[in-house]
Amino acid sequence: MPLFPELENLGAAMDFIDGIYEVVEHIPLFGGFSYPDIERLSAYMECFGAPAGTALLEEGQDGDWLILLLTGSIEVVKKDEQGVARPIAIAGPGSTVGEMSLIDGRKRNASCITLEPTDFAVLTRSALNSMLAGHSDLCARLLLVLLTEMTSRLRAANERLMPHIGIAAV
């Protein structure tokens, strides 16, 4: 089944290299990526355009892809224990969401809803595996970016768990 059949498919990310480079060159995490690197990376991604109010990820749903926001913005929303959707973050161009399901194949932890018209690039697990086989150097450097992002989130989660120590993650 195609990804996001109801959205405008902007085509291969290769067609958006300038736009993608413009976004990621401002992200310190991607500091080591040259224009040719982004070109090679784009060969493994596909781009879409969504109107405001579109769910790019849905909490509890399957999906093993990661999203890199190119334009626009999203709200990250998670249901509380009573099942009421609660906004927990806002993210804009250059942000990635969906890493956890890309890595472990488990269900989405939260929903991501566009706040305005938003273009984004998608990296699936299958494309990541192809990159590992075809451009392992590029793949390793991308995985280091994701690990840095995950480490930052885990440190933030641990901070928040401090008052409940004894249950902190390590």
Binding site for a second copy (CB under 8 A): 76, 78-81, 86, 88-89, 97, 99-100, 103-104, 106, 109-110, 132, 136-137, 139-141, 143-144, 146-148, 150-158, 160-170
CB of 136 to a second copy, least distance (A): 4
Length of the chain: 170
CB of 2 to a second copy, least distance (A): 26
Question: Are the C-beta atoms of 67 and 121 separated by less than 8 Å?
Answer: yes
Closer CB to a second copy, 1 or 165, in the complex: 165
CB of 67 to a second copy, least distance (A): 12
Closer CB to a second copy, 26 or 79, in the complex: 79
- Inter-helix orientation angle 136-161/125-134, to 10°: 130
Amino acid sitting at position 37? D
Residues 99 and 71: their CA atoms lie apart, in Å, by 19
| SS3 readout for 70-86 | CCCCEEEEEECCCCCEE
CB of 51 to a second copy, least distance (A): 22
Question: Are the C-beta atoms of 40 and 33 separated by less than 8 Å?
Answer: no
Closer CB to a second copy, 9 or 161, in the complex: 161
Are β-strands 46-50 and 65-69 bridged in parallel, bridged antiparallel, or unpaired?
Answer: unpaired
Closer CB to a second copy, 19 or 97, in the complex: 97
